[in-house]
């Protein structure tokens, strides 16, 4: 019997209130399938919450748990110590920052336990100090605020990242890809392929596969020149390019760009560029504690007053109102 044929891994899934059910389910199900195909319990798991009470997911489904952090800390010194802890995050994860959780995660990590984060679980790992100078993945929607709050973390809009003993994924079905990679490392590609067939998925995506739909599909735009211009805009939000600079890079005249944007996007290129910068600003306002003036600078505005004027025109509220409403939601 080879070493892999007797491998066993025990996992604690720590459920954060409002966790994302799809990421949790797609991380758990391949483990169940692996056990079934191997013919023994290679993977065991238990669900934990802060105090051992049920946790409600973001879709409203309440999930029972078997253990609490107090119990898990006692198990850390005995034979029931897990080989991996996975933090299952979701919406409004910053509401659930907790020093007890941070201390427990650090203690597990220092004892050699692998640590994982699903969806916004990476936020709690970073807040616990476990991601400094490490690569991690997080959902594209949360990336701007995360990058601003944790500048020492190498965060990427990848499906998942594995850096030594730290596993993070962007959430959604990316959890499936990360766990299949784990199973492949534990056993072999043959087992992974059998699980894929059972779960009706045709492949394991690589960590660097894109999170979001390609621009062509996301925007419903077919013109390659317009798509190239939008990619340039999205890559240059802090220091916006002038229309002349964009024209030089794509080999069109300003007039041609204006006409194409009117036809394809229903507005001028300047207006579209402004909207995506304001969209980025909105994410920073609700996901970070950056001062409004710093948000303005990060999104290419020369002054806070100009930023506020543009923001109010698009969203019918000031940047400060946006942030205050978000704070009230988090306190509720």
Average pLDDT of the chain is 91
pLDDT of residue 327: 58
- As a whole number, mean pLDDT of residues 75-82 equals 93
- What angle separates helix 269-287 from helix 304-315, to the nearest 10 degrees? 100
pLDDT at 180 exceeding the cut of 70: yes
In this predicted structure, which of 135-139, 142-146, 198-202, 266-270 has the lowest mean pLDDT? 142-146
Q: Where are the domains of the chain?
A: 4-198, 215-331
> Can you give the three-state secondary structure of the chain, one letter per residue?
CCCHHHCCEEEEEEECCCECHHHHHHHHHHHHHHHHHHCCCCEEEEEEECCCCCEECCCCCEECCCEEHHHHHHHCCCCCCCCEEEEECECCHHHHCCHHHHHHHHHHHHCCCEEEEECCHHHHHHHCCCCCCCEEECCCCCHHHHHHHCCCCEEECCCEEEECCEEEECCCCHHHHHHHHHHHHHCCHHHHHHHHHHCCCCCCCCCCCCCCCCHHHHHCCCCHHHHHHHHHHHHCCCCCCCHHHHHHHHCCCHHHHHHHHHHHCCCCHHHHHHHHHHHHHHHHHHHCCCCHHHHHHHCCCCCHHHHHHHHHHHHCCCHHHHHHHHHHHHHC
pLDDT of residue 142: 84
C-beta of residue 38 within 8 angstroms of C-beta of residue 191:
yes
pLDDT at 80 exceeding the cut of 80: yes
Is 3.40.50.300 the CATH classification of the domain at 4-198? Answer: no
Q: Report the alpha-carbon distance of residue 35 to residue 41 in Å, rounded.
A: 5
Tally of CA atoms within 13 A in the half-sphere of 165 that contains its CB: 14
Q: Report the alpha-carbon distance of residue 42 to residue 6 in Å, rounded.
A: 7
Alpha-carbon dihedral angle through residues 312, 314, 319, 325, given to the nearest 10 degrees: 100
In this predicted structure, which of 63-72, 151-160, 166-175, 322-331 has the lowest mean pLDDT? 322-331
- The reported pTM is 0.77
- As a whole number, mean pLDDT of residues 59-80 equals 95
In this predicted structure, which of 11-20, 31-40, 178-187, 220-229 has the lowest mean pLDDT? 220-229
Assigned CATH topology for domain 215-331: Arc Repressor Mutant, subunit A (1.10.10)
pLDDT digits over 253-273, tens only? Answer: 999 999 999 999 999 999 999
Based on the number of CB atoms within 10 Å of its own CB, is 238 exposed (0-12), middle (13-18) or buried (19 or more)?
Answer: exposed
């Amino acid at each position: 019997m080879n070493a892999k044929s007797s491998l066993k891994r025990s996992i604690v899934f720590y459920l954060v209130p409002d966790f994302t059910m799809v990421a949790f389910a797609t991380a758990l199900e391949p483990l169940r399938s692996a056990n079934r195909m191997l013919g023994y319990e290679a993977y065991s798991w238990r669900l934990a919450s802060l105090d051992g009470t049920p946790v409600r997911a973001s879709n409203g489904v309440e999930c029972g748990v078997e253990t609490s952090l107090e119990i898990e800390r006692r198990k850390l010194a005995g034979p029931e110590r897990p080989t991996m802890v996975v933090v299952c995050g979701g919406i409004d994860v910053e509401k659930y920052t907790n020093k007890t959780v941070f201390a427990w995660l650090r203690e597990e990590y220092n004892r050699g336990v692998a640590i994982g984060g699903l969806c916004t679980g990476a936020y709690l790992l970073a807040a616990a100090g476990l991601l400094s100078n490490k690569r991690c993945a997080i959902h594209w929607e949360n990336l701007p605020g995360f990058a601003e709050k944790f500048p020492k973390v190498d965060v990427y809009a990848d499906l998942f990242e594995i850096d030594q003993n730290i596993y993070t994924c962007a959430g959604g079905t990316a959890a499936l890809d990360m766990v299949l990679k784990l199973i492949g490392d534990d056993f072999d590609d043959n087992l992974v392929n059998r699980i894929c067939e059972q779960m009706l998925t045709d492949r394991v995506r690589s960590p660097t596969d894109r999170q979001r739909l390609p621009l062509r599909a996301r925007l419903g735009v077919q013109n390659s020149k317009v798509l190239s211009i939008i990619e340039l805009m999205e890559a240059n939000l802090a220091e916006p390019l002038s229309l002349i600079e964009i024209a030089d890079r794509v080999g069109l005249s300003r007039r041609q760009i204006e006409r194409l944007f009117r036809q394809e996007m229903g507005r001028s290129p300047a207006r579209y560029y402004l909207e995506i910068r304001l969209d980025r600003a909105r994410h920073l306002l609700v996901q970070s504690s950056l001062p409004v003036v710093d948000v303005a600078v990060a999104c290419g505005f020369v002054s806070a007053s100009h930023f506020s004027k543009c923001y109010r025109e698009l969203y019918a509220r000031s940047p400060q109102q946006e942030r205050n409403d978000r704070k009230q939601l988090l306190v509720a």
